[in-house]
Amino acid sequence: MIAQVLWIRARNYQLHRTLGMVGVVVAVLFVITAAVVVIGKPRPTEAARAILILPMHQLVIFSLFVAAGIRFRREAASHKRLMYIATFITVMTGMRRLQTLLDITTSPYQTLVVAVALLLLPLFVYDAFTLRRIHPVTWGGTLLVFAAIPLHSVVGYTAGWQNFADWLTNR
Protein backbone atom coordinates (compact mmCIF):
# COMPACT_ATOMS: atom_id res chain seq x y z
CA MET A 1 0.00 0.00 0.00
CA ILE A 2 2.77 2.43 0.91
CA ALA A 3 4.71 1.58 -2.26
CA GLN A 4 1.62 2.23 -4.35
CA VAL A 5 1.15 5.68 -2.82
CA LEU A 6 4.83 6.49 -3.32
CA TRP A 7 4.73 5.47 -7.00
CA ILE A 8 1.77 7.78 -7.58
CA ARG A 9 3.48 10.65 -5.76
CA ALA A 10 6.57 10.07 -7.94
CA ARG A 11 4.27 10.08 -11.01
CA ASN A 12 5.44 6.59 -11.93
CA TYR A 13 2.00 5.46 -13.10
CA GLN A 14 3.24 2.46 -15.07
CA LEU A 15 4.98 0.95 -12.04
CA HIS A 16 1.85 1.70 -9.98
CA ARG A 17 -0.28 -0.18 -12.53
CA THR A 18 2.17 -3.10 -12.68
CA LEU A 19 2.30 -3.37 -8.90
CA GLY A 20 -1.49 -3.09 -8.91
CA MET A 21 -1.74 -6.17 -11.15
CA VAL A 22 0.50 -8.05 -8.72
CA GLY A 23 -1.75 -6.79 -5.93
CA VAL A 24 -4.81 -8.27 -7.63
CA VAL A 25 -3.12 -11.68 -7.73
CA VAL A 26 -2.12 -11.32 -4.06
CA ALA A 27 -5.68 -10.30 -3.15
CA VAL A 28 -7.15 -13.38 -4.89
CA LEU A 29 -4.62 -15.64 -3.15
CA PHE A 30 -5.38 -13.91 0.15
CA VAL A 31 -9.11 -14.57 -0.17
CA ILE A 32 -8.58 -18.22 -1.11
CA THR A 33 -6.07 -18.81 1.69
CA ALA A 34 -8.15 -17.00 4.28
CA ALA A 35 -11.28 -18.91 3.27
CA VAL A 36 -9.44 -22.22 3.62
CA VAL A 37 -8.17 -21.20 7.07
CA VAL A 38 -11.58 -19.96 8.24
CA ILE A 39 -13.46 -22.96 6.88
CA GLY A 40 -10.80 -25.46 7.98
CA LYS A 41 -11.18 -24.68 11.67
CA PRO A 42 -13.78 -26.85 13.47
CA ARG A 43 -16.60 -24.88 15.11
CA PRO A 44 -18.08 -27.24 17.70
CA THR A 45 -20.09 -24.70 19.73
CA GLU A 46 -22.93 -22.38 18.89
CA ALA A 47 -20.79 -19.33 19.80
CA ALA A 48 -17.91 -20.54 17.61
CA ARG A 49 -20.27 -20.98 14.67
CA ALA A 50 -21.84 -17.56 15.30
CA ILE A 51 -18.47 -15.80 15.38
CA LEU A 52 -17.63 -17.33 11.98
CA ILE A 53 -19.79 -14.63 10.45
CA LEU A 54 -17.13 -12.02 11.26
CA PRO A 55 -14.25 -13.40 9.16
CA MET A 56 -16.69 -14.40 6.42
CA HIS A 57 -18.05 -10.84 6.38
CA GLN A 58 -14.49 -9.49 6.20
CA LEU A 59 -13.66 -11.75 3.26
CA VAL A 60 -16.76 -10.66 1.37
CA ILE A 61 -16.29 -6.94 1.92
CA PHE A 62 -12.54 -7.17 1.26
CA SER A 63 -13.35 -8.81 -2.08
CA LEU A 64 -16.00 -6.19 -2.86
CA PHE A 65 -13.67 -3.31 -2.07
CA VAL A 66 -10.81 -4.71 -4.13
CA ALA A 67 -13.18 -5.36 -7.05
CA ALA A 68 -14.66 -1.86 -6.74
CA GLY A 69 -11.14 -0.40 -6.48
CA ILE A 70 -10.26 -2.09 -9.77
CA ARG A 71 -13.51 -0.93 -11.34
CA PHE A 72 -12.96 2.69 -10.24
CA ARG A 73 -9.21 2.76 -10.92
CA ARG A 74 -9.61 5.82 -13.13
CA GLU A 75 -11.38 7.79 -10.38
CA ALA A 76 -8.48 8.54 -8.05
CA ALA A 77 -10.50 9.73 -5.04
CA SER A 78 -12.70 6.63 -4.99
CA HIS A 79 -9.92 4.22 -5.99
CA LYS A 80 -7.55 5.18 -3.20
CA ARG A 81 -10.26 5.03 -0.55
CA LEU A 82 -11.53 1.66 -1.77
CA MET A 83 -8.01 0.22 -1.69
CA TYR A 84 -7.27 1.80 1.68
CA ILE A 85 -10.40 0.28 3.22
CA ALA A 86 -9.64 -3.12 1.66
CA THR A 87 -6.17 -2.94 3.20
CA PHE A 88 -7.71 -1.83 6.49
CA ILE A 89 -9.84 -4.99 6.55
CA THR A 90 -6.73 -7.18 6.31
CA VAL A 91 -5.01 -5.19 9.07
CA MET A 92 -8.08 -5.49 11.28
CA THR A 93 -7.79 -9.28 11.17
CA GLY A 94 -4.13 -9.02 12.06
CA MET A 95 -4.94 -6.77 15.01
CA ARG A 96 -7.17 -9.48 16.44
CA ARG A 97 -4.37 -12.03 16.13
CA LEU A 98 -1.86 -9.62 17.66
CA GLN A 99 -4.15 -9.14 20.63
CA THR A 100 -4.30 -12.91 21.08
CA LEU A 101 -0.51 -13.20 20.90
CA LEU A 102 -0.12 -10.41 23.46
CA ASP A 103 -2.78 -12.02 25.65
CA ILE A 104 -5.00 -8.94 25.46
CA THR A 105 -8.56 -10.05 26.00
CA THR A 106 -11.21 -8.00 24.24
CA SER A 107 -14.37 -8.80 22.38
CA PRO A 108 -14.35 -8.75 18.57
CA TYR A 109 -16.50 -5.62 18.82
CA GLN A 110 -13.90 -3.82 20.92
CA THR A 111 -11.21 -4.82 18.44
CA LEU A 112 -13.36 -3.44 15.62
CA VAL A 113 -13.89 -0.12 17.40
CA VAL A 114 -10.16 0.23 18.20
CA ALA A 115 -9.21 -0.67 14.62
CA VAL A 116 -11.67 1.85 13.22
CA ALA A 117 -10.46 4.55 15.60
CA LEU A 118 -6.81 3.91 14.70
CA LEU A 119 -7.14 3.31 10.98
CA LEU A 120 -10.40 4.69 9.59
CA LEU A 121 -10.72 7.82 11.67
CA PRO A 122 -7.63 9.30 9.95
CA LEU A 123 -9.41 8.79 6.63
CA PHE A 124 -12.33 10.89 7.90
CA VAL A 125 -9.88 13.58 9.04
CA TYR A 126 -8.08 13.46 5.68
CA ASP A 127 -11.41 13.82 3.83
CA ALA A 128 -12.50 16.71 6.05
CA PHE A 129 -9.28 18.64 5.44
CA THR A 130 -8.72 17.85 1.76
CA LEU A 131 -12.30 17.70 0.45
CA ARG A 132 -14.09 19.73 3.12
CA ARG A 133 -16.59 16.85 3.26
CA ILE A 134 -16.51 13.11 3.86
CA HIS A 135 -16.20 11.11 0.64
CA PRO A 136 -19.09 8.68 -0.01
CA VAL A 137 -16.65 5.73 -0.17
CA THR A 138 -15.38 6.61 3.32
CA TRP A 139 -18.93 6.62 4.67
CA GLY A 140 -19.97 3.48 2.80
CA GLY A 141 -16.83 1.57 3.70
CA THR A 142 -17.15 2.41 7.37
CA LEU A 143 -20.81 1.38 7.41
CA LEU A 144 -19.98 -1.94 5.72
CA VAL A 145 -17.20 -2.59 8.23
CA PHE A 146 -19.55 -1.88 11.13
CA ALA A 147 -22.26 -4.07 9.57
CA ALA A 148 -20.37 -7.01 11.07
CA ILE A 149 -21.76 -6.16 14.52
CA PRO A 150 -25.48 -6.50 13.72
CA LEU A 151 -24.76 -9.41 11.37
CA HIS A 152 -23.12 -11.31 14.20
CA SER A 153 -25.75 -10.31 16.77
CA VAL A 154 -28.82 -10.83 14.60
CA VAL A 155 -27.79 -13.52 12.11
CA GLY A 156 -25.01 -15.44 13.87
CA TYR A 157 -27.26 -17.32 16.26
CA THR A 158 -30.09 -18.10 13.85
CA ALA A 159 -30.76 -21.71 12.97
CA GLY A 160 -30.01 -20.98 9.32
CA TRP A 161 -26.56 -19.53 10.02
CA GLN A 162 -25.77 -22.22 12.58
CA ASN A 163 -26.63 -24.96 10.08
CA PHE A 164 -24.66 -23.25 7.32
CA ALA A 165 -21.61 -22.72 9.57
CA ASP A 166 -21.79 -26.32 10.79
CA TRP A 167 -21.98 -27.60 7.20
CA LEU A 168 -19.16 -25.31 6.11
CA THR A 169 -16.72 -26.26 8.85
CA ASN A 170 -17.55 -29.90 9.47
CA ARG A 171 -17.66 -31.34 5.98
Q: What is the pTM of this model?
A: 0.85
Q: What is the pLDDT of residue 127?
A: 96
Average pLDDT over residues 122-126: 94
Contact criterion met (CB below 8 Å) for 138 and 127: yes
Q: What is the pLDDT of residue 63?
A: 96
Q: Domain for residue 8, yes or no?
A: no
Average pLDDT over residues 128-150: 92
pLDDT tens for residues 78-117? 999 999 999 988 887 777 777 778 787 777 677 777 777 7
* Residue 139 Cα to chain centre, angstroms: 14
| Average pLDDT over the chain, rounded to an integer | 89
Structural domain span for residue 112: 30-163
Rounded Cα distance, 26 and 30, in Å: 6
The total number of structural domains that make up the chain:
1
Q: Domain for residue 138, yes or no?
A: yes
Q: What is the pLDDT of residue 10?
A: 94
Q: What is the pLDDT of residue 33?
A: 93
